[in-house]
Homo-oligomer: A and B are copies of this chain.
Amino acid sequence: MLQPNPYDVLFEEVQIGPVTAPNRFYQVPHACGMGHLRPQAHAAMREVKALGGWGVVCTEETEIHPSSDLSPYSEQRLWDERDIPALSLMVEAVKRHGALVGIELVHNGHMASNLFSRLPALAPADIQLDDGYPRMARRMDKSDIRELRRWHRRAARNAKAAGFDIIYVYAGHDMAVPQHFLLPRYNQRSDEYGGSLENRARLIRELLSETKDEVGDRCAVALRLGLDERMGADGMQAHEEGRAVVELLADIPDLWDVNVSNWQNDTVSTRFEPDEGYEVDQMRFVREVTGKPTVGVGRFTSPDLMVRLVRGGVLDLIGAARPSIADPYLPNKIAEGRTDAIRECIGCNICASSDKLGVPIRCTQNPTMGEEWRRGWHPESIAQRASDAEVLVVGAGPAGLECALQLGRRGYRVSVAEATGEFGGRSLRESGLKGLTAWRRVADNRLYELSQMANVRLYRESPMSAGDIVETESAAVFLATGARWRGDGTGRTHFRPVQGLSDIAVFTPDDVMAGNLPVGPVVIYDDDQGYMGGVIADHLAGKSLAVTFVTTASIVSPFTTLTLEQHRIQSSLIAAGVKLVLSSKLVAAGRGTVSTADIYGGSRDEIACTGLVLVTARDIDRSLSAALKREAPDLCVETIGDALAPGLIADATFSGHLAARNFESDVLETEAAIYRREMPALPAVNTL
């Protein structure tokens, strides 16, 4: 007899207004960098979520009018009827698999700069655009509010026509006008939309009512609300007005989708919120107050926690953005009792970075994410092997493990030779640094999967020379030997080695990861500008070293703005006593000192220190591939991951995955995928 699944409760249907979710797994609206520019890619990506068992799958933000124009960022659009066909692609793709499909209608107010439409932005008051473009949003008058309601109603009607089941009113993440009206710092109006909470919530109430009136016969109407801004008394607090708003509007929405505002506070990286469920305390009251279906998020991947939240009456639906990106098949895996196989989100926020960069979503853990349409990749299936070839992967870091895993899934006999005593490479090494513990999941997940495969063998302490490789008689070799941080100061700023480095104790991130730490006052020089410099500073400050952080950037770790971490990082370094020297380059080093220069004014400074950590650029050792080319010119050799081009771990897992997919595949199709993209429609009558 089959064991009862302890997680059965997660697979119960949930009635949401006039529609019924087939289970409790709910992919909340999340950005993906595809949007209106890439409707086919978008539909294919959302379809995989439905295939993987998510009972509800939503869009990202969907602009309802050109006065909420987020260009150049590509979110969804439902400006008018012409957007219906593109959105219908997604609707059709998701519903095909029995899931409900939701759309997050949004007017972004002063968070939209309208750089394409050129319309004045709209806000409760005359306030500046959020993005730094020196233009102000216009205080909405009564006719503006009427117009906004008309646009929202029209968008709801069009969303229904496109086939959506759940239609949102969005008032969260500090990104939407209805929330801006709610917040006293923006809303100091003296009319019936300002003053009391009831007045400030009037626009939300109107939008909810009008949306229900327009589409409520067939569609559920959801309210997505930021309950708490994590600003203390300077902003909304869940136990104060957050709760009061929920009480005020309790009966109106068919579904409450609640979270913490803003995006930085909702989508926190594991570096700053290592545990899942970090928003539960703020949302605990909503279900009880409203009695309505409630969904919330918090990087949930543990089915036990999910069951507790449902049984405890906190949530009816388990919301997810990042866990559904890292593993679109998370629900199916729970249903099938394969919880060990869940590819757990590492909370690195590379997914968020792609949206902020305006390009399709990527994921460190799930390299198929964003490639569903262009390359036809699926997270759980892959073409079977084309031959009986035995293959060798040299290096068991993120690229090597991913490559071996996918080659193994394809059925090849794979050997993995790792030079050191441990598997995991960079993801393991970096996970020893302060804040990056979760990054070892990149290795853990793959090592678990590989341990289930009879056709893949991993070897520790197996450095390979070209001769060793030739002796294995492998049909193909994948070199995933990684990169090392440079110790000569070359990087973005210096193209030749920095003078005087032999006079001071120089360290690199590799030294720090290996436990080889400086002893005295230390200068960290960050010319990489990624996340590593700030991590090293935090790590060394945590060892009670006196740290001065010198960087060519004007802020600490500017790349982490894209992963929503930058403000927290710079604040935490200051709190840890790290001294910051910004917009400065290293000029020279000497005995007990380094010299820096301001990159604008050129003024020099001397900093006394006994150690210097260089976080500049990385170096590739190509001697093995060169030797192979000499000794076995006909051997099929492919370099992957950091050994090909040092980048993020996400770049490495993608590279490893790509190589495994492409191995012995149709070359024409592989080449065609490089060029595949969505292109603008041209006039029907091209006179040429």
Contact = CB atoms under 8 A, between A and B. Distances in A.
Contact of A119 (B79, B528, B674): B674
Contact of A574 (B88, B89, B600, B688): B600
Nearest to A483: B136
Interface residues of A, number: 93
A134 interface: yes
Contacts of A496: 185
A688 B92 contact: yes
A195 B117 CA distance: 50
Contacts of A491: 128
Interface in A122-157: 126-128, 132-138
Given A559-B132, A648-B135, A71 B358 contact: yes
A436 to B, nearest CB: 14
Contact of A601 (B86, B574, B647): B574
Interface stretch (A54-62, A380-388, A408-416, A617-625): A617-625
B601 A645 contact: no
Interface in A561-606: 567, 570-571, 574-575, 582-583, 598, 600-601, 603
Number of copies: 2
A647 B680 contact: no
Interface stretch (A21-29, A37-45, A399-407): A37-45
A559 B134 contact: yes
The residue in A73, A136, A575 that gathers the most chain B C-beta atoms within 10 A of its C-beta is A136
The residue in A582, A601, A654 that gathers the most chain B C-beta atoms within 10 A of its C-beta is A601
Contacts of A636: none
Contacts of A118: 362, 651, 654
A460 interface: no
Interface in A593-651: 598, 600-601, 603, 617-620, 644-648, 651
A186 interface: yes
Contact of A136 (B73, B74, B617): B617
Contacts of A583: 555
A525 to B, nearest CB: 14
Given A37-B37, A601-B575, A674-B66, A647 B79 contact: no
A134 B574 contact: no
A448 interface: no
Contacts of A598: 574
A189 to B, nearest CB: 13
Contact of A559 (B133, B185, B600, B688): B133
Contacts of A86: 679-680, 682
Contact of A359 (B71, B574, B647): B71
A600 B567 contact: yes
Interface string A140-180: 00000000000000000000000000000000000000000
Contact of A135 (B37, B126, B645, B683): B645
A226 to B, nearest CB: 17
Contacts of A37: 37, 680
A601 B39 CA distance: 43
B681 A679 contact: yes
Contacts of A686: 85, 88-89
Nearest to A533: B134
B128 A617 contact: yes
B531 A134 contact: yes
A603 B573 CA distance: 13
Nearest to A120: B645
Interface in A471-506: 491-492, 495-496
A683 B40 contact: yes
B555 A571 contact: no
Contact of A80 (B357, B530, B558, B675): B675
A495 B528 contact: no
A135 B80 contact: no
A51 B362 CA distance: 45
Interface string A501-535: 00000000000000000000000000011111000
Contact of A677 (B73, B115, B116): B116
A575 B61 CA distance: 46
A623 to B, nearest CB: 14
14 contacts: A36-B680, A39-B680, A40-B680, A66-B674, A71-B359, A86-B679, A115-B358, A116-B359, A119-B674, A128-B491, A135-B646, A554-B555, A574-B603, A679-B680
Given A72-B73, A116-B359, A136-B617, 12 more contacts: A38-B680, A39-B682, A40-B683, A66-B674, A117-B674, A132-B558, A133-B647, A135-B646, A135-B648, A136-B618, A138-B645, A679-B681
- The list of the 3 closest CB pairs from A to B, nearest first, reads A134-B530, A72-B358, A135-B647
